[in-house]
Structure formats: structure tokens, C-alpha cells
Amino acid sequence: MSTFDHLLDGLRAAAESTRLRLLALLAEGELTVGEIAEVMGQSQPRVSRHLRLLTEAGLTERLPEGSWVFYRLAHDGGGGRLVEALLHLLPKDEARLDRDHQRLAVVRARRTKAAAAYFRQNASHWDELSSLYIDEAEIERVLLSLLGRSSIDDLLDIGTGTGRILSLLGPRVERGVGIDNSPAMLTIARAKLTLAGLRNCHVRYGDMYDLPWPGGSFDAVTIHHVLHFAERPAIVIAESARMLRAGGRLVIVDFAPHDLEALRSEHAHRRLGFANGEIAGWLVEAGLKPARLRHLRGRALTVSIWSAIRPGPGEARKAPAASDSLETRH
């Protein structure tokens, strides 16, 4: 189908009052069919039909997540450009749009309250664990030094959890995406991103062993305290490397080897940390060029921060010498 025909399909799909309202709603962030139906005062089957037409025309995207399905505006291609133009033309004083946004605020407030309650119930887990290693602020300082000073169009955070890395780096990137297989964590992440006003960031349900994007889709990928849960960490790194464009950077934050068996029995850690050479070997096997390693020593655990770059054609890739790969902080 030609670009001209795609444009016609998009215009036909959008040329209806309910579907224009849907586009205006989704401009505020991704929503489920049930949430949209509640906001618009329409049945879920009717809303689903409208969303199907918009998705088939390339104006919206459908994101299944367990028993739920989220919808968001298209970001790429002609559909994304057409949506942007249509939203720019919408009147600012349209009563129907105002009512939709007021109802959306109620839905969001309820979602944020539920997320906060879940976080409170589980906060002791994170507090207990984080007390064993260095202050997260120090880890985040290193992340910002690695990623916050360069121009990043597209960031992927694997195992995004509560969305902390997206909240940290979101203001410095054009687009941030977090992926996780825990709907509860994704609920927290969505609430946090909404409260932070980071409309350029979103999260989705997915499998870190089989990422749902074509290769070369991102400028930077982060894996923050995730690999120690992984059954196949080498595959996670290989998939992360596949996501990177030439010159893109992967950053991994995890523990150095330790002997705290309680983390395995009580916190479901599969691996008790990773040796420097183990991660470096996986990075090279994945086609990346490892950079200098950072060690951040805490009370009982040492956090290691590995980074690597996707070399361009003809560039060599090998791990740095051990004498060049260590930066220790207390």
C-alpha cells in the first residue's frame, strides 16, 4: 500500500467524533479498554471496535499484558505524524474533550492510590535489601554519568520494576520504554511516570528473553538489578545487544559475587552476583565492546556497573584489560 493510501486510511479512521476523542485521551498516556470505556461512558465492545479501526489504520498500538490490553498512540511512521497533526488541530475549548479529561483524572487518581497501597505493603522488602548495599543515589550518579550527558533518542529499561530508571533518565531522552513481566510492578511504574509528567515514557508487559522490537531499535539499554533473577542471563544480554543501534550503549547494574544465601532463599535471587569476566565474556559474545567497570562497595554487598557499546562496522570488540576496568567507590 502506498503512503498516499495509508494517509487516506488514517484520515477515514479518525474522521468520527468518538475516535477523535479516543486520540485525545490516549495523548495523555496508555489506557486499557475498561478505563477508556469508563471515561467515555460507552460499552467496552463499542470502544474496542473504535480502537480496532484506529489500530488497523496505524494511529494507535495494541499492547496485550496478561488478561489486560493497553492502547497507546502510534509513535513512529506516517501514523504517528498524522496523529500529531490531528491533535494539534483539536480545539482547546471543546466541552466533550474537557469532560473526558476530567473523568480521566478520576480514573488515574484511583489507579495511583491502588499502586501506592501495593508499594506500601511491599516496601519492607526493598528497604531490607537496599540496606545491604550502597545508597541508590550513588548508583544513579554513575548511571547519569554514563547515559545522562549524551543525546539519547530511544531508551529501553529491561525489568523496569517500579520505573525508577525511566523516572531518572526520562527527562534526558526523547522516548523511554520499560518492559517487565510483573503487572503489579507495571501498575506502580505507570503511576510514577504519570505523577512525574513523563509523557515521553511508557511501560509494557513483555519477556526479556524475547524482546518485541526489531534489532537496532534503541540508542541505550539498561538492566538494573535484574540479571540475578534471570534463569538465562547470557540470553538477556544477547537480546539487549540486539536492540542497540551502532554506537548505542548497554549498562548493567548488579551485584559482584557474594555469599548471602538468604537472598536466594528469601528474595528469589537465582544468582549470588556475577564475576567481572563472566559478564564481560557475555558482552563480547553478544557483539559488544565492554567499557570500564565500576565497583560500588556497600556494607555487605558490592554493586558492579558494567557498560558496553555496540561497535560500528569494522570496529574491534574486546574487553578492556583488568587494570583499566576498575573504578572503586566506597
CATH number reported for the structural domain that contains residue 177 in this entry: 3.40.50.150
Largest CA distance in the chain: 66
Nearest-5° Cα angle at 219, 195 to 270: 75
According to DSSP, residue 83 is labeled: H
In a domain, 299, yes or no: yes
Of the CA atoms within 13 Å of residue 83, those in its CB half-sphere come to 24
What's the structural domain count of the chain? 2
> Backbone dihedral region of 100: left (phi > 0), alpha (psi from -120 to 50 degrees) or beta?
alpha
Do 209 and 83 fall within a single domain? no
Do 35 and 157 fall within a single domain? no
What are the backbone dihedrals phi and psi of residue 327, each rounded to the nearest 5 degrees, phi first? -130, 115
In a domain, 43, yes or no: yes
Q: What is the pTM of this model?
A: 0.76
Do 146 and 258 fall within a single domain? yes
Do 149 and 245 fall within a single domain? yes
Nearest to 104 by CA among 32, 35, 12, 21: 35
Q: Cα dihedral angle (280, 282, 284, 287), rounded to 10 degrees?
A: -140
List residues bridging with 321 in a β-sheet.
Answer: none
Express as a percent the part of the chain with pLDDT over 90. Answer: 59
- Pairing of β 293-297 and β 326-329: parallel
Residue 286: give the domain boundaries: 131-329
Nearest to 274 by CA among 258, 250, 257: 257
CATH number reported for the structural domain that contains residue 80 in this entry: 1.10.10.10
In a domain, 126, yes or no: no
> CA–CA separation, 158 vs 271, rounded Å?
17
**Please, which residues have CB within 8 angstroms of residue 285's CB and are 6 or more apart in sequence?**
234, 238
**Please, which residues have CB within 8 angstroms of residue 41's CB and are 6 or more apart in sequence?**
103
Nearest to 304 by CA among 263, 259, 254, 270: 254
CB 50: neighbour CB atoms within 10 A?
A: 20
Do 138 and 98 fall within a single domain? no
Domain boundary residue, one of 104, 119, 146: 104
**Please, which residues have CB within 8 angstroms of residue 323's CB and are 6 or more apart in sequence?**
none
Distance of CA 324 to the CA centre of its chain: 31
Domain boundary residue, one of 86, 104, 122: 104
Amino acid at 218: F
In a domain, 297, yes or no: yes
Domain boundary residue, one of 53, 87, 104: 104
In a domain, 303, yes or no: yes
Do 280 and 190 fall within a single domain? yes
> CA–CA separation, 86 vs 78, rounded Å?
12
Stretches where the chain sits below pLDDT 70 are 65-67, 115-116, 118-134, 314-330
Do 167 and 54 fall within a single domain? no
Do 88 and 174 fall within a single domain? no
pLDDT of residue 326: 41
Distances (CA, A) of 304 to 142, 219, 240, 252, 327: 11, 22, 18, 8, 10
In a domain, 118, yes or no: no
In a domain, 324, yes or no: yes
For residue 53, what is its C-alpha cell? 479501526
Do 272 and 169 fall within a single domain? yes
How many residues does the structure list for the chain?
330
In a domain, 201, yes or no: yes
Do 232 and 294 fall within a single domain? yes
Do 78 and 223 fall within a single domain? no
> CA–CA separation, 145 vs 147, rounded Å?
6
Do 63 and 154 fall within a single domain? no
Q: Transcribe 232-255 into DSSP letters.
A: -HHHHHHHHHHHEEEEEEEEEEEE
